[in-house]
Structure 1
Amino acid sequence: MDDVLVVGAGPVGLTAACQLARLGVSVRVVDKLDRPTTESRAVTVHARSMEMLAPLGALPRMLARGRRVDGLAMVDGATGHTRARIDFGEVPSRYAFLLDIAQPDSEAVLAERADELGIVVERGVELIALTQDDDGVEVTLRSDDGERTTRVGWVVGADGGHSTTRHLVGTHLEGGFHGQHFAMADVETETALSPDTIRMFTHPDGVGMLFPLAGARARTIFLVDAPPAGATAPTLEEIQALADARMGGQVRMRDPLWLTYFEVHHAQVPQYRHGRVLLAGDAAHIHSPAGAQGMNTGIQDAANLAWKLALVARHGADARLLDTYHDERHPVGAEVVRTTTALTNVGTAAGVGAVLRDAALFVVGHTPAVGDAAAAKTAEVTIAYRDGRLAVHHGHHRHGTARAGDHAPDPDGLRRPDGSAVTIADLLVRPGLLLLARSDDTDTVDALHRVLGDLGTVVRVVRAASADGGEQVVDDGDVIGRHYGLGDEGLALVRPDGYLGLVADAADPELLRRYLADSLGVPEPVAP
């Protein structure tokens, strides 16, 4: 019996599958499409998502296929005047930029990585029924070979906005269902606009968006009235007319690769977990494309869920750990729905609303601190889980340093014993939990190894390289102290999704044992 069935082989499903496989979980992936999509769909990857894709081994290949974008501009669509530009260069991340990459390319990279991890994506296979009990889920799958019923331990529904998985567990999206209609085109462009910026054009008739892709290719999106009955796609001429009206006449378009209409609602399911079935990505939340948050929120759903599901499926953790997936990610999804709805409304404001919008954009564009804050929020690096039950901070907290529930800082200044530079991101490439330990007592470090067992890696943080054994990083500049608040002794447990679980001012193996048992619900780990 496979541990997990992932339904949907888009970026969200493949991210979940790759992370699960890295953590030793048996994964099966099915998708009802006979072949990967050729439609660009989601195109922008934000910093926090790149931080999560890097340990999977997928990010370098995605960077090679995409375009680096350094800023996001709000432009007056009637005049072409830039009202505000948000630069991402100060985003606190190793990836202080946006990556624009067409979805077929991002899916191809993730599918290639899945194949390397031994995952076979079964295409033309559709989930049509499921029932679950305390021990597993019975699923019925339909393909050209007929219907077949099999049993799996868990199901991850990452099958998009029209999710069958969501329907089969008896839940539905709740929210705004008046719907917003968009015309979208993937085209070759001729423009003097620099390709290092995503642009959102405000206009009383509806917002327009321009996403530069590799070469001269770009994605354009326009908010429009409901299309005529039966119309599935605009013509290139209609897209050009929208661009002329709403992009200040600055963009010429040709050679369309994809033209379509689509409708977006603003809604979310009330619960992400349904027993042994868990929903992620558009199966759990749908919203406007403004801000390019959708795929990113889904990728981060997958990263949050996968390590927890691996602890339950492979290491016997209490299944209540999976409730924290909903607890941590549902509020994030709700905020994304609110924010993208507001952005779309701002882009179409008229009259007094437009005056207020333009004044606000002036402040954003001329106040660096406000612009940097907007960039950090857009890049999703402000997301934290400080109030969750998996965030445990023991002892004194040094002001200005990371707390449990924050994303783990990744400062420069760490070295391997051989003198080569190393980062927290490098250390997270090894699957499992990462324990950073400061202690001069080798017996204590050995005890930490025994407590963590096969759940992850213990890395001792030292002032100078020593021959005491065990994996070490050298921190002669005290960057861990400045960023994590650890003194001469302490612990920082980094989750596989990059967030801090336990931060303690003492290198006490009992603190680690209690965290694993009480917070994660993991029985005594097996010796590595």
Structure 2
Amino acid sequence: METSDMTDVVIVGAGPVGLTLACDLARRDLRVRIIDRATAYPVGTRARGIRARTQEVFEDIGVLGRLTEHAEPPLPTRFYDAQGHVVREAVMYDAPPVPGAPYPGSLMVGQQFTEAALREKLASLGIRVELGGELVELAQDRDQVTASVRFDGHRRDIRARYLVGCDGGGSTVRKQVGISFLGETWERQRMLFGNLRVDGLDASVAHMWANGLTLSPMPRSGTWFFTAPLPPDGDQGPSSVSVETFAHIFSQRVGMSGVRFHDAVYLSVYQVNIRMVDRYRDGRVFLAGDAAHVHTPAGGQGMNTGVQDAYNLGWKLAHVLRGAPESLLDTYEEERLPIAGHVLASTTARGRFWAGNDSARVSERIVGAFQGRDPFSDVSQLSITYRGSSLARDLDEAIGIRAGDRAPDAHCIESASDEHVRLFDLFHGTHFTLLAFGPRPAPRVGEGRRGDVHTYRILPPGLPYGGSENALIDSAGEAHGLYGVDGDGLVLIRPDGYIALAGGDWDDRSVSGYFECVTGDRAHAFERGPQGLGVPS
């Protein structure tokens, strides 16, 4: 048995969720190891819809540009009824722009490209995925976690301050720590999906038939992505599926002549499960992504929800590893567990809403969901909020935006250079950002924390700024409008882009007092104060 040196965090699972977390931790100069039981990097489209909020995360981490290079063109989808007649053709992912969000509603990228871009970023930070590492046992005490991992038949003990399981719905980490995975399995709902090559089908559109069979061209990878419901009494398992299996299903359910399938790149059977954990944490072990929640694919929320888990957890782990109170890590479950519950409920309701024999009505509902007209939730995930969290503190109700809300983007002009700048450009990185609207002096941040907080003054045109090099002119009033500020306003933004503190009236202790809770060493710093706000105990 070999035992490694102590590391800060070990991540089990190198899919998009584990890689996002690894990148976020590595850019903070933490010692990170990421292992995966696979012996080779997976191929295939799999999760392909990168929603607007996830694009914000990927831009901050520094991979969005690479992903855009691999994005599929926004082709229309052609919907067919049970008789094979076209009932609708529409670009599903052509959502109207959202104020304060500079990204398309969805970026369609095969998961193999998403993972490759994240691995490339991680390698630039000095860390590589350790393939062929199968977790076989976990142990922890008050100071560390020990993961026993089998590499090439040899067991090695990896010691870390914390461990995060990003190892999917069948999570070994979750089972090792005994966290319940509550919910149900829809035994009669199984899907065959994957990538293959297709001849004889119009490649200028995606195709969706009333029976749930879909074929979408993926020109960037030279394949088509398909889904096909399997018969409830079928015996196809992961080892028995083939191109012939799909060809037979297509012939039976579509019957379109002259279409040929060949050269499968990836084939899999997907069993619908609707399950989630009852807790995100066991001591020094955390869960994220499918290890914590699985649901129907309606709306494409799975990978995106997992990436948000990782982004929420990363900065908190970093702060605790540098001395913040351990209780900061409790806010990960506090903020993300309700989101998982909502995603399970909304995707289940959406999946049922999309079912039925009226192809025209069903297609309208599907298109509407991706164009901002979904009755269950916002599939872009831009409207997710942590209002009421222990980390959300409203000073008053003088401004429109609230603590816990996502901080929107806006365009301003740097007073010193007259150059245009986006607020997102200022948020990028591992720091907090303090925006002070109006001429009133910003409160003190506190000695020792100035490098962790970047402060900017936002002023309307014509207001003197006193030569401050961090003054931004809100020439079009965009920032004032999106943040709901008419006069003075103070907004503190967390490293994950959510608002920590907001209000129109403040004193010199407003921000430093908040940071005494977040990064100080005071016991019980996150006990709930009045109205559930994070206040010093």
Which of the five TM-score ranges fits, normalised by the shorter chain? 0.7 to 0.9
Matched AA of 1:372: G
**For the Cα contact (< 8 Å) 2:275–2:293, is it kept in 1?**
yes
2:382 maps to which residue? 381
Cα offset, 1:107, TM superposition: 0.7
Who is 2:36 aligned against? Answer: 31
* Pair 1:435–1:246, CA change in 2 (3 A): farther
SS in 1 for 2:411: coil
Q: Give the one of 235, 250, 265 matched to 2:273.
A: 265
| 1:61-85: CA deviation from partner (whole Å, max 9, x where unpaired) | 0110121437777654543434685
Alignment of 1:303-342 (within 5 A): 303-314=311-322, 316-342=323-349
Alignment correspondent of 2:8:
3
Please tell me whether residue 297 in structure 1 is matched to residue 302 in structure 2: no
Deviation at residue 415 of structure 1 after TM alignment: 4.3
Give the partner amino acid of 1:192. Answer: D
1:234 has 2:255 as partner: no
Deviation at 1:463, TM superposition (A): 3.9
Is 253-262 or 116-125 further displaced after alignment?
A: 253-262
Moved more, 137-146 or 303-312: 137-146
Give SS of 1:4's match.
strand
Letter in structure 1 aligned against 2:471 = Q
Aligned twin of 2:391: 390
Cα distance in 1 for residues equivalent to 2:370 and 2:303: 25
Q: CA RMSD in A?
A: 3.1
Please report the TM-score for the alignment, with normalisation by the length of structure 2: 0.85
Equivalent position to 2:223, from 190, 207, 217: 217
Relative to its length, the structure with more helix (as a share) is 1
Structure 1's 158 and 211: CA in aligned 2 closer, same or farther, altered over 3 A?
farther
C-alpha contact 1:173 1:267 (8 A) present in aligned 2? yes
Task: Quote how far apart the aligned CAs of 1:55 are.
Answer: 0.6
Of residues 117, 125, 140 in structure 2, which corresponds to 1:132? 140
- Alpha-carbon distance, 1:428 to partner: 2.1
Which among 178, 191, 195 is matched to residue 182 of structure 1?
A: 191
Distance in 2 separating the partners of 1:87 and 1:212:
15
When structure 1 is superposed on structure 2, of 236-245 and 168-177 the one drifting more is 236-245
Matched, 1:69 2:98: no
Gap runs ≥5 in structure 2: 1-5, 523-537
SS at the partner of 1:327? helix
Aligned partner of residue 271 in structure 1, secondary structure: coil
Counterparts of 1:237 and 1:423, CA distance in 2: 52
Asked if 2 retains the 8 angstrom alpha-carbon contact of 1:407 and 1:498, the reply is yes
Distance in 1, matches of 2:160 and 2:336, equals: 24
Distance 1:489 1:82, change over 3 A: same
Residue 385 of structure 2 corresponds to residue 421 of structure 1: no
Q: CA deviation at 1:454?
A: 3.2
Which deviates more, 84-93 or 267-276? Answer: 84-93
- 1:517 CA drift (Å): 2.6
The 3-state SS of whatever aligns with 1:160 is coil
Q: Which residue of 1 aligns with 2:283?
A: 275
Deviation at 1:170, TM superposition (A): 0.8
Aligned residue runs from structure 1 range 463-478, under 5 A: 463=460, 468-478=467-477
The residue aligned with 2:175 is: 167
Q: Structure 1 residues 34, 364: CA separation in 2 closer, same or farther (over 3 Å shift)?
A: closer
Contact 2:139 2:145 in 1 (8 A): yes
Aligned to 1:483, the other structure's residue is in SS state helix
Question: Aligned to 1:20, which of 25, 37, 49?
Answer: 25
Quote how far apart the aligned CAs of 1:373 are: 3.2
Distance 1:156 1:237 in 2: 40
Kindly tell me: are residues 188 and 129 of structure 1, through their superposed partners in 2, closer, same or farther at Cα, counting changes over 3 Å? same
CA deviation digits over 1:331-372, x for unaligned, max 9? 2222222333334434443xxxx45x865765787xx89953
Deviates more, 1:298-307 or 1:465-474: 465-474
Mapping 1:456-495, distance limit 5 Å? 456-463=453-460, 468-495=467-494
Q: How many residues are aligned here?
A: 506
Amino acid at match of 1:184: F
Alpha-carbon distance, 1:48 to partner: 1.0
Amino acid in structure 1 at the alignment position of 2:166: A
What SS does structure 2 have at the residue aligned with 1:67?
coil
2-structure distance, mates of 1:247, 1:67? 25
Report the Cα distance in structure 2 between the residues aligned to 1:200 and 1:397, rounded to whole angstroms. Answer: 49
Q: Secondary structure at the match of 2:378?
A: helix
Alignment-derived partner of residue 447 in structure 1: 444
SS of equivalent residue, structure 1 residue 168: helix
Q: State whether residues 412 and 423 of structure 2, in contact with CA within 8 Å, keep that contact through their aligned partners in structure 1.
A: no
| 8 Å contact kept, 1:31–1:122 | yes
Q: 294-303 or 418-427: which moved more?
A: 418-427
- The alpha carbon displacement at 1:183 in A equals 0.6
Give the letter aligned to residue 408 of structure 1.
Answer: A
Contact 2:443–2:509 (8 Å) recurs in 1: no
Q: Is the 8 A contact 1:12 1:299 kept in 2?
A: yes
- Show structure 1 runs of 4+ deviating over 6 A: 70-74
CA 1:212–1:193 in 2, change beyond 3 Å: closer, same or farther?
A: closer
Q: 1:403 to 1:101 in 2, by over 3 A?
A: same
Partners of 1:408 and 1:498 within 8 A in 2:
yes
For 2:184, the aligned partner's letter is: G
Query: Against the structure 1 CA distance between its residues 347 and 482, is the aligned structure 2 distance closer, same or farther, given a 3 Å change threshold?
Result: closer
1:31 Cα deviation (Å)? 1.3
Deviations 1:129-163 (A, max 9, x none): 22222222122222127222232111111011111
Q: Flag the 1:211–1:449 CA change in 2: closer, same or farther, 3 A.
A: farther
Q: Establish whether residue 202 from structure 1 lines up as the match of residue 202 from structure 2.
A: no
Give, in angstroms, the shift of residue 91 of structure 1. 4.2
Distance of aligned partners of 1:129 and 1:231 in 2 relative to their CA distance in 1, 3 Å threshold? closer
Q: What is the CA–CA distance in structure 1 between the aligned matches of 2:491 and 2:263, rounded to whole Å?
A: 53
CA contact (8 A) 2:79 2:87 kept: yes
Q: CA offsets per residue over residues 467-492 of structure 1, 9 Å max, x none?
A: 64453322233322211123443221
Query: Percent identity among equivalent residues?
Result: 32
Cα deviations by residue, 1:262-313 (Å, 9 ceiling, x for unpaired): 3231111111111211100111111222322111111111111111111111
The range that moved more, 171-180 or 105-114, is: 171-180
Query: Is the 1:391–1:501 contact (alpha carbons within 8 Å) kept by the matching residues of 2?
Result: yes
Q: 1:522 aligns with which of 514, 520, 523?
A: 520
Query: Structure 1 residues 201, 418: CA separation in 2 closer, same or farther (over 3 Å shift)?
Result: farther
Contact 1:140/1:148 (<8 A) preserved: yes
CA apart distance, 1:322? 1.7
CA change 1:70–1:469 in 2 (3 A) is farther
Whether the 8 Å contact between 1:415 and 1:475 is mirrored in structure 2 is no
- 1:51 Cα deviation (Å)? 0.9
